[in-house]
Amino acid sequence: MKRLFAILLVTVSILNTYAQLDTVYKIIQKANNCYKHTEYDSAIALYKTVLKKGWESPYLYYNLGNAYFRKGNLAKAIVNYERAYRRKPSDENIRHNLNFARQYVQDKFTRIHEFFLKRWWRALALSMCADSWAYISVGLFVITLLLALMFLFSKKILYRKLGFYIGLVTFVLSVLTLDLALVNRHYVLNSGEAIVLRPTSVHSSPSNQGTELYILHQGVKVKILNKSDGWYEVKLPNGTIGWMPKNSLEKI
């Protein structure tokens, strides 16, 4: 009886998932159709409905970014292109549209120099998604275990040496690819970066009475460092630190 109940429960769960997928697919198709007919507000609302249901993908964010860009909302377009890029950095269309949108950002900054190895490692981590790096890491670890068995149980010295040295290499590569997966995952989910939604003053303190340092325009990307009573402490692309109202930013 318990077994039958478990089978029925799994069956109902699968059917429910398929029903949700069908609903989501129909909403996306309707949103795409609205986009083709330049009904950008409707397309945006439908894409956001899918996101609210808990479904997301790089291409959903990409399409939402396109709709916002066509509507003329540069900041929202960049936010969604950034989200798409972080989930699939290898996609040429996503990268192209993000770079294209960035050209329309009014404020230009000279970026502070970053240690080249750190920059290179992050770029490598973003060359594939976190899941891909994780699969490679697991695969290398399995190979390491097999080589360890060869080292422990082989009677031939040559095979034992091969098992040891190649296993050592695959173990190091497994650790490195795992770190790449973690770097990618952190960048996607916990980067702490945000996009300026509209022209906003950057103040020296979390108050409108603080000294005005800059006026940032829509589309600028900043790093969130801290928060206090409706304000974010942010780092600008040139390294300057100041405070901005929370409602003037949207986290990526």
Rounded (5°) CA angle 148-154-159: 80
In a domain, 25, yes or no: yes
Q: Among 52-56, 61-65, 109-113, name the one with the lowest average pLDDT.
A: 109-113
Look up the pTM and report it: 0.74
pLDDT(6) > 50: no
Question: Would you place residue 103 in the very low, low, confident or very high pLDDT band (cuts 50, 70, 90)?
Answer: very high
Tokens 């240690």 correspond to 115
Domain of 241, in residue numbers:
193-251
Q: How far is it, in rounded angstroms, from Cα 132 to Cα 136? A: 6
Shared-domain flag, residues 207 and 183: no
Answer with the one of 67, 102, 137 that is the final residue of a domain. Answer: 102
pLDDT(9) > 60: no
Q: Tens digits of per-residue pLDDT, 129-162?
A: 888 999 999 999 999 999 999 999 988 999 999 9
Q: What is the mean pLDDT of the chain?
A: 88
Shared-domain flag, residues 137 and 204: no
Phi, psi angle pair for 149, to nearest 5°: -65, -40
- Cβ atoms 80, 73 nearer than 8 A: no
In a domain, 110, yes or no: no
Answer with the one of 189, 214, 230 that is the final residue of a domain. Answer: 189
Shared-domain flag, residues 149 and 183: yes
Shared-domain flag, residues 6 and 97: yes
Q: Tens digits of per-residue pLDDT, 213-228?
A: 989 999 999 999 999 9
In the chain, the percentage of residues whose pLDDT exceeds 70 is 90
**How many distinct structural domains can be found in the chain?**
3
